[in-house]
A and B are shown apart, each in its own frame.
Chain A
């Protein structure tokens, strides 16, 4: 079975937030909340500055603390693509997963359950890319099976330099940023 992941080219991303709006529309994300967001990171000392713009979301971690801490099994690893999902009618809204995620990827939906990026599993089932990937005007996002060495994502990871977010948290994130 596939192990789905995302590869995002920070050299192409301009931070237009199309991915954020596409996600909110596609997934009916309640007003004022977001499942993906843009982070701008500036490093260095003037005039030697570097900037990285990133579209961030749940990393569908291989070692997901949010799944381990969940008392009901509502947060779980879905067999489809080994993605991390929340079953809303099993969630008690204890917020342990919000505290456990080092990326702030989760929020409490106003209806009471924990909510976050699903990698648009409903679209993946129809053979489509997640909404954010499909709308990106710079085509900086790629989505596919990390276990398939011939997939676009695997080829990019094999040929370019990349990093993940907070690798020191030991979560083994599956959203990769090309540099």
Chain B
């Protein structure tokens, strides 16, 4: 028997030890989507540079949508900080051992790159702004006339997307104190889950008022600039199918990674095995297997596969489920991770 009358390492025993609430899962989720969108947009921009797909929804609107989503994520991040007025202190230094430090610098660069990428077709995507700021059209023409620059920008998007996608996983991974997080699979899992959520997000976006002319006004125009395909036609069918096909791939890999994560924990130290118990019969079991795996991966995997085979009509349901599952994954990892701890040796000292 081993009985400890205080282990302070438990927010239920000592509320002052509560670490992260809803804000961090929201940020990790949105950050993951933006990361995935940057990678997909980068690939689309490579096609744009080759002269293919000039209407290119992904290369054109994605950076703008990503930019707005990132604002939501950053707001959640700011809300989480307990010493908000000192947030500038992050940008006084670069701490190489702290993923949160270099991640913050990556975020700054991501903002810049998303803005520049959005400028490629901004006046076409958001005519309201284009008509009022004629310089935007000149910037856009200048960029479009330089395929080498667009190609470079595409690669910057892809590389930054990968960095943004993995850094949060590395951040959690470095914490020895929380065994559930100490697995090198985590950064890869977050990256792939971000990619699948990004594909779902863009799928959803292409289906909001498809084929209708873009609203002209300030607010409607801005919204349409983020989510509506350029021009009066809906996005080509093969574009939508390509997204669905990519998402099937991402979801399958995610399933595999989750399997490796659980097996890896179970076959590691007593502390890691105890951490796995949190989702194998512990309080997070239902959300993990029901929410993340069944609703977030298995069901949309089957639905999308049937859609591609024309056995059921295309709907937005799989995309919505993938997004819900992506959030559930971050929620479980952040909360169960905080509940996991190093298990004491049972023998006498």
Number of A-B contacts (CB under 8 A): 151
Interface residues on A, range: 35 or more
Which residues of B60-107 have CB atoms within 8 Å of chain A's CB atoms? 80-87, 89-90, 92-93, 95, 97-101, 103-104
Pick the contact of A99 from B2, B92, B101, B177 — CB < 8 Å? B177
Closest 4 CB pairs of A and B: A93-B82, A93-B83, A112-B83, A104-B8
Whether a CB of chain B sits under 8 angstroms from the CB of A40 is yes
Once A43-B2, A69-B100, A93-B82 are accepted as A-B contacts, the answer to whether A104 and B176 lie under 8 Å apart by CB is no
A96 touches B100 (CB 8 A): yes
B87 touches A92 (CB 8 A): yes
Bound Cα distance from A174 to B151, whole angstroms: 54
Whether a CB of chain B sits under 8 angstroms from the CB of A124 is no
Whether a CB of chain A sits under 8 angstroms from the CB of B348 is yes
Bound Cα distance from A149 to B87, whole angstroms: 43
Once A33-B16, A50-B348, A65-B174 are accepted as A-B contacts, the answer to whether A102 and B81 lie under 8 Å apart by CB is no
Contacts of A14 in B (CB 8 A): none
A68 touches B97 (CB 8 A): yes
Which of A77-85, A137-145, A152-160, A163-171 lines the interface with chain B?
A: A163-171
Bound Cα distance from A32 to B14, whole angstroms: 10
Once A93-B84, A96-B171 are accepted as A-B contacts, the answer to whether A104 and B9 lie under 8 Å apart by CB is yes
Which residues of B153-198 have CB atoms within 8 Å of chain A's CB atoms? 171, 174-178
B176 touches A65 (CB 8 A): yes
Pick the contact of B175 from A69, A105, A111, A112 — CB < 8 Å? A69
Once A43-B348, A72-B101 are accepted as A-B contacts, the answer to whether A98 and B17 lie under 8 Å apart by CB is yes
Bound Cα distance from A42 to B1, whole angstroms: 8
Interface residues on B, range: 35 or more
Q: Which residue of B lies closest to A89 (CB)?
A: B86
- Apart from A41-B5, A92-B83, A96-B100, 18 more pairs, CB < 8 Å: A33-B16, A42-B2, A44-B348, A71-B95, A72-B92, A72-B93, A74-B89, A94-B81, A98-B17, A101-B177, A102-B9, A102-B176, A102-B342, A104-B8, A104-B17, A105-B8, A107-B17, A168-B345
Contacts of A12 in B (CB 8 A): none
Once A65-B176, A112-B83 are accepted as A-B contacts, the answer to whether A90 and B89 lie under 8 Å apart by CB is yes
Contacts of A113 in B (CB 8 A): 82-83, 86
A73 touches B178 (CB 8 A): no
B342 touches A95 (CB 8 A): no
Contacts of A33 in B (CB 8 A): 16
A10 shortest CB reach to chain B, Å: 10
Once A65-B176, A69-B100, A102-B177 are accepted as A-B contacts, the answer to whether A95 and B2 lie under 8 Å apart by CB is no
Once A107-B17, A113-B82 are accepted as A-B contacts, the answer to whether A100 and B342 lie under 8 Å apart by CB is no
| 5 intermolecular pairs with C-beta atoms under 8 Å apart | A43-B348, A73-B93, A93-B83, A95-B80, A96-B98
Bound Cα distance from A64 to B95, whole angstroms: 14
Contacts of B349 in A (CB 8 A): 52, 163, 179
B82 touches A102 (CB 8 A): no
Once A68-B97, A93-B82, A95-B20 are accepted as A-B contacts, the answer to whether A103 and B8 lie under 8 Å apart by CB is yes
Contacts of B82 in A (CB 8 A): 93-95, 108, 112-113
